[in-house]
Structure 1
Amino acid sequence: MQLQLITFVLITLYCMDYTGGQHSSSRHRHHKQISSGGLGCQQGGCLTCSDYNGCLSCKPRFFMHLERIGMKQIGVCMTSCPPGFYDIRSPERNTCTKCRSECDSCFNKNFCTRCRPGYYLHLGKCLESCPDGLMRSDIQRECVHRCPAECEACVNSELCTRCRPGLYQLQGRCHHVCPEDYEPNDRLMECSPQVHCEVGEWSEWSPCSRSGRTCGFKRGQETRTRLVLQYPSPFGRPCPEISEIKECLVKRRKCPGRGKNERRDRRNRNNRRDKASQEVLRDRKRERDRDPGERDNSDNRNKTEHRRRRDQHSENTQHSSSAQGHHD
């Protein structure tokens, strides 16, 4: 900054000496330098200028910036300072001042916003090596926090944004097993809150019934139910019973129209019994109408079968008595 001020003073003195030596035509020549629109005065931000040195002063809200061209510096008036410089405002003049050598851009002489290659930004300063607990980022040119071992990406040393494979994220941390009241979500690889079952109030007990009827019995059952308001997540508490049954007693009473039904059932049973009796009578008649020889053969077969069964029974009785005597 001091070098720039000295340069500006020298330029001003040079202009004063030059105009003093040419007194007879200085007023006309100086007017020509300001209004001629030469190379140094083509920029609209110049208030006063010189063809040789460019802008000597700037209009309000413009910043004086000295650009080096070979061995000389040209004054340029700019609306904002270029990268590597920061602005200084004052009532007399606004100037662009160069950042520190290690800064690529800066807010002021003590606060860098981006560093040159080989340096890393930390708390507004450009460092060649990062402090303990931080690591260098060549892409950002910054000192960044080391991620915890279980993180693939993080905001700082305590807050993860992505976990390593097989781990579940919860509130910036990575877990092998989700904490209590949380359950793993394999699709999102996160620990999601458990959802427990919720049920409503019990309904009133139903009327006592049996086989769908509410009459014609003494012992029956009553039921009541309740609705599921919230079904549980895979690891949440399951739903309790949503229906109950209890035994009940009622005073036996006949169902309306029950007598007519009973008479109809009795009549049907009698009809079936009559048909069975008629079948037996028809079989006996067919037996009597058969050929006498066939009846004799049938009788002989019946007698033979009866004799065989009697002998078998006698043999089993003798064998049982013999076994009993041997045991005694």
Structure 2
Amino acid sequence: MEVVSCAHPCPRRCSDLQEGIVCQRARACLQGCRCPEGSLEQDGGCVPLEHCECTDAQGHSWAPGSQHQEACNNCTCRAGQLSCTAQPCPPPAHCAWSRWSAWSPCSRSCGPAGQQSRFRSSTSGSWAPECREEQSQSQPCPQPPCPPLCLQGTRPRS
């Protein structure tokens, strides 16, 4: 920072760029501290214009030269100003499914560990992420207890 006797009041800070403050040379000059010509104040220090950070509408700070995505648009921070493309988001995918199939027969005829399944398929032809729901389901299907095993050559005891 340098002390000046006459400095135009805008822009003085990197944040002025994001807020759209424009310099009106007709305004009276002000005495005080100011960053040297070609640099602006940021976090209490002076930085060149191209090193100014950007702030988005939600208050997030972005480093100079950084890129990020907001909704369906690509945004870039350049010289303290965040510029974003203006592309509309595509409409949400239409997801349609067939009815569930009937439950399959139980995988076991007796005992507790049987499973059965059912399936469905996409009828809209869309495999968009929001259309990736369950295509199959499984559930246990307990059966009556299995009869005891009988080995040949053994006789039941009385």
TM-score by length of 1: 0.18
Choose 1 or 2 for highest CA Rg.
1
In proportion to residue count, which structure has more helix?
1
TM-score by length of 2: 0.33
Indicate the structure whose relative CO is greater, using CA pairs within 8 Å and at least 6 residues apart.
2
